[in-house]
Structure 1
């Protein structure tokens, strides 16, 4: 897995750790991750815009999304999604 894939998984793990201890990810974060990994740049920027309508942030959001899309393979994205699903399904949570 490439560095960007590791960063996505690390980010997902951090989201889970900050979710209040029950391993549940709120629906807004789930949608954010879904669009970040599998949506188009336009879809992702529009989603982020709901929460922060700042031109600089939106420009950087588009750049990060384009970087992820050009760096992560479909396999990397599937692994990251599967990782999140396995953590949520874990009986330890």
Structure 2
């Protein structure tokens, strides 16, 4: 399993076991959406809204480019589908 997919699954598992409202925070859903479907420039601009630090933004771009080079479109679609299934779960 790829790293990004594993992180998505881990985050979802934490939400499901939290015992509270396991709906995914809209800001996190937006972040994941831009991370998986946006360009590196889009994602850096999104992160810059929250942390305008040159080192962080440089690393953000590197990570985004790395993920884009490793994950297939199918991997990205599967991660987004998983998030939708967590949101629709009757457990929540």
Question: Structure 2-normalised TM-score?
Answer: 0.86
Closer, same or farther in 2 for the Cα pair 1:56/1:12, shift >3 Å? Answer: same
**What is the 5 A alignment of 1:1-93?**
2-13=1-12, 16=15, 21-93=20-92
Question: Structure 1-normalised TM-score?
Answer: 0.85
Structure 2, unpaired ranges of 5+: none
Closer, same or farther in 2 for the Cα pair 1:74/1:12, shift >3 Å? Answer: farther
CA distance in 1, matches of 2:27, 2:70: 25
* Cα RMSD for the two superposed structures: 2.2
Aligned residue-pair number: 92
CA distance in 2, matches of 1:39, 1:59: 16
Structure 1, unpaired ranges of 5+: none
